[in-house]
Structure 1
């Protein structure tokens, strides 16, 4: 492996970490690759900018931030400790920098429609015929494979994985603070400096000295608040619903051999479920907006309308709705929407959000969450919720929220199908009161 250094340190000015420091040539070269530069054209928070107007920051910002946190841990906190293998330093830095490389435009909505996983594409970009892979190969023949293994959480040294992906990792520590900064909220702030100071490498994990427990409690509560006040904000979800329906509609029209005025050239491989890395890397949010702008002129009324709504922030309204308890009401609304000439597949949508703020280890579960461990003064290691009453109170408790989204403006236009629309409005008002 090479550990080539730049002739002088490069720095990026950053609003969250003040400065991001780069001394390793491989890191500097990775930042300059076209695959990494693409992340400038993908927002970190998808449609959240339609709710919090400052949320225009990119995956590029965030990736540099995660790298900087990991750099501080391995260079300032772990270096020289007997439980830490400094040979993994460069691997940690590269995995931190590249962990979000495979995100698509409007990441999670995009993945949901086309049944994709950004981690799969991250690994494919790292291992494929890309500029990123060429840079990684300058370190060693199998170095790209090791970076991909860290992303896949299969690398042999679990300490390395836990720095990038765990219940208290550099990824979360950066995005909570960065997203709080750009949205202008106070929820995501916590004492990261304290947490970094008390992190320690131990065998196959990273633990926290028990003296830092209160800083970790603050971090977990910050995460909880950010999810419900920012990430799951109902207005953001309304925009995501419309975005998702645009992509569904375009895919459906393509399958029906609809003649687009503006052919979705960049979407063909996605519509045919044959997307490869080369096609995927051509996609970013500027490309998506080009099509949304163009599709406002399509003959298809649904695609035309949904694109106009998304571009102009003419979003759906919502009511609290429990599909388990109100299924008959949903069936009734579906029937009335059809009578009103409004397609319920695109204009009557249940959206559910769910979050588990902290969990202890549950072997065999679909997503096994490694817990946060505290290192006691006597050397004993204890799982966090066994020591913290605050964390114990929320540990393992999943919160779920359901909302029903609909286009109020179409329902209030009583020039057509007024009887059905009035019934729909009465039913929605009743749900709102209940």
Structure 2
């Protein structure tokens, strides 16, 4: 029997709090789960610094990746014998679902911003590079690693396959919304996934939803909207991300100046500072390693690096206020000047952070990020774009919401003498 079709002697199951069980019968999937590159995802949190806001959010990219695999496995079961579905694509879909987040680094998006990296590039590098993952994928077929990478990169020729993992209603989103809601303890991210899976239908270019399932999809979209604003963009989480970014910027600044001697040389970070990151370097750096450095750096001679690491490790975060940098640019300049006069470095202790989200959008040709809309299939077989049928979805379609906050080290300002004019001026600006 070809490796592509090889089954385990008996089905393996992972007990899962969201899907109850995750079922593995294919040898290739079981082998991929056992690779060092996939096991590394146990050491990368799914929600980065969110555990400092919602204490249950300790789940990992490993959990989520298995969840996405399970949802795709169940979708494919439902698609079997349906028009437009080619069962030869089955193992490709399962592998792409399992490996779609393989390239995430520690604290994911904050880390990427500081070092100008993209986890999708590293996902591709792991799949196509000299790795155990690549070795296993090549056992299926010499071109199979490229096919998996293309599905994840959204360039694969079969757009239906791509839409299972990357669209406005896909297995990735359906897992993380439910999983993140479960581990944060909130009620927003729950929706009737069973119903959605039952009404999904394969079409030539994407999966569509039977019109009878419209209300379940409305619920899913509103769940996503609420999760972004109540969990993903929570201001306390963003405060922790600001401090995390400042730590990495400070460490890089000290290293690049070539005048500071670290008590613990930042060996694991050197190639990141120098923008010479190899795949080997990238895979060695996980959140356990980063946290070890932060603990050690609490004792560094550099007061700023030491203080920022203490704040992050001990959860002594920056305070925040509503602040619109577009309309309050002058106030921001005044604040920076006042912080400098007070001896508090505004580069590290004052930051405007903005978050924005577009919960759903219809197709807009030529946009930088073209979003394939969700289509409903009417009883006649005709397809209608979701927002044309749903008043709820129409009310939020194409509406991008943005939120701005100013983060600052309030405790350092409070330490200034009560009679200080600078202190009074800072609080005047902050109070608007």
> What secondary structure does 1:390 align onto?
helix
1:387 paired with 2:403, answer no
Distance 1:253-1:227 versus aligned 2 partners, 3 A rule: same
> What secondary structure does 2:284 align onto?
coil
Q: How does 1:14-93 map to 2 (within 5 A)?
A: 14-75=16-77, 77-93=78-94
Structure 2 match to 1:347: 349
Does the 8 Å CA contact 1:340/1:418 hold for their aligned counterparts? no
Q: How far 1:83 sits from its partner (Å)?
A: 1.1
> What secondary structure does 1:154 align onto?
coil
Structure 2 match to 1:3: 5
CA distance in 2, matches of 1:369, 1:422: 49
Match of 2:310 among 308, 316, 330: 308
Q: TM-score, normalised by structure 1?
A: 0.98
CA distance in 1, matches of 2:242, 2:426: 20
CA distance in 1, matches of 2:311, 2:195: 45
Does the 8 Å CA contact 2:83/2:203 hold for their aligned counterparts? no
Alignment deviations for residues 180-218 of structure 1 (CA, whole Å, 9 cap, x no partner): 000000000000000000000011111000100000000
Structure 2 match to 1:219: 220
CA distance in 2, matches of 1:213, 1:287: 45
Q: How far 1:372 sits from its partner (Å)?
A: 0.4
Structure 1 match to 2:205: 204
> What secondary structure does 2:352 align onto?
strand
Does the 8 Å CA contact 2:15/2:22 hold for their aligned counterparts? yes
Does the 8 Å CA contact 1:339/1:417 hold for their aligned counterparts? no
Does the 8 Å CA contact 1:384/1:391 hold for their aligned counterparts? yes
Does the 8 Å CA contact 1:341/1:417 hold for their aligned counterparts? no
Structure 2 match to 1:183: 184
Aligned length: 429
Structure 1 match to 2:254: 253
Q: How far 1:262 sits from its partner (Å)?
A: 0.8
Q: How far 1:80 sits from its partner (Å)?
A: 1.0
Match of 2:374 among 372, 379, 384: 372
Q: TM-score, normalised by structure 2?
A: 0.98
Alignment RMSD, CA only? Answer: 1.0
CA distance in 2, matches of 1:348, 1:81: 56
Q: How far 1:423 sits from its partner (Å)?
A: 1.7
More displaced 10-residue stretch of structure 1: 408-417 or 234-243: 408-417
> What secondary structure does 1:353 align onto?
strand
Alignment deviations for residues 33-81 of structure 1 (CA, whole Å, 9 cap, x no partner): 0000000000000000000000000000000000000000002x10111
Alignment deviations for residues 363-406 of structure 1 (CA, whole Å, 9 cap, x no partner): 11111111001101001001100110000000000000000000
CA distance in 2, matches of 1:287, 1:366: 36
Q: How far 1:415 sits from its partner (Å)?
A: 4.7
Gaps of 5+ in 2: none
